[in-house]
């Protein structure tokens, strides 16, 4: 959403005068703003792109992503294909598994088909519950089954092992703690 400053920061990170990171070692994570993904593609740099997809239908995604940061999945996928062609880099789909929302076998099959059509990597992230959540973390069995379905489809999938969950310091938990103070 802040394209100009993002590119300026990436230029500093990758500049030999500053941090000198190779573009291939930098990942941009976004909820997916198609026009900006296409602008990023036009720069023809080899940054990695990770899309916080979290659902395989626009209806389910509407429950998870705020309207101001949400675009139709088909538009996101079209812009990702352009980015992949321009950068020659695989796309990663980040997918937070949420109990009874987006963790069904059908969801896994649709996600697997999307990923195979690219090809793309899938990073599965089990939801980290907080005290006042309406969402819940799926069981380990459900997470493993979801990942297994994707693997059987021939997709490149990683099931993230979270750290810090037992002390409420996993992804999203620290923010929830501070917001509630």
Which strands make up the sheet holding 91-97, listed edge to edge? 27-30, 48-52, 91-97, 120-126, 156-159
**Residue-level pLDDT at 178:** 46
Helix 73-87 vs helix 34-42: angle between axes, to the nearest 10 degrees? Answer: 10
**Residue-level pLDDT at 69:** 85
**Residue-level pLDDT at 130:** 74
**Residue-level pLDDT at 172:** 52
**Residue-level pLDDT at 174:** 45
Give the CA distances from residue 159 to residues 15, 36, 115, in Å, rounded to whole numbers and listed in that order.
33, 28, 15
Domain at 25-179, CATH class: alpha beta
For 96, the enclosing helix (H) or strand (E) is strand 91-97
Which pair of tokens denotes residue 128? 């980290």
**Residue-level pLDDT at 78:** 97
**Residue-level pLDDT at 176:** 47
> Is the model's pTM score more than 0.85?
yes
Mean pLDDT by 10 residues, the chain (181 residues): 95 97 96 96 96 96 91 97 96 96 98 94 91 86 98 96 60 49 53
28: Cβ contacts below 8 Å, ≥ 6 apart: 6, 10, 40, 47, 48, 49, 50
Largest interatomic CA distance in the chain: 49
């Amino acid at each position: 959403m802040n394209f100009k400053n993002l590119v300026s920061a990436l230029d500093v990170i990758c500049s030999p005068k500053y941090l000198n990171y190779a573009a291939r070692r930098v990942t941009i994570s976004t909820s997916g703003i198609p026009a900006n993904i296409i602008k990023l593609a036009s720069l023809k740099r080899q940054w990695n792109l990770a899309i916080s997809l979290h659902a395989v239908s626009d209806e389910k995604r509407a429950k998870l992503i705020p309207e101001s940061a949400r675009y139709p999945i088909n538009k996101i996928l079209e812009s990702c294909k352009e980015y992949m062609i321009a950068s020659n880099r695989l796309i990663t789909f980040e997918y937070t598994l949420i109990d009874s929302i987006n963790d069904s076998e059908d969801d896994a099959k649709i996600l697997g088909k999307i990923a195979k059509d690219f090809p793309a990597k899938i990073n599965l992230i089990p939801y980290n519950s907080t005290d006042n959540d309406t969402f819940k973390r799926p069981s380990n069995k459900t997470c493993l089954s979801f990942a297994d379905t994707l693997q059987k489809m021939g997709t490149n999938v990683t099931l993230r092992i979270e750290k810090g969950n037992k002390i409420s310091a996993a992804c999203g938990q620290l923010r929830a703690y501070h917001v509630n103070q």
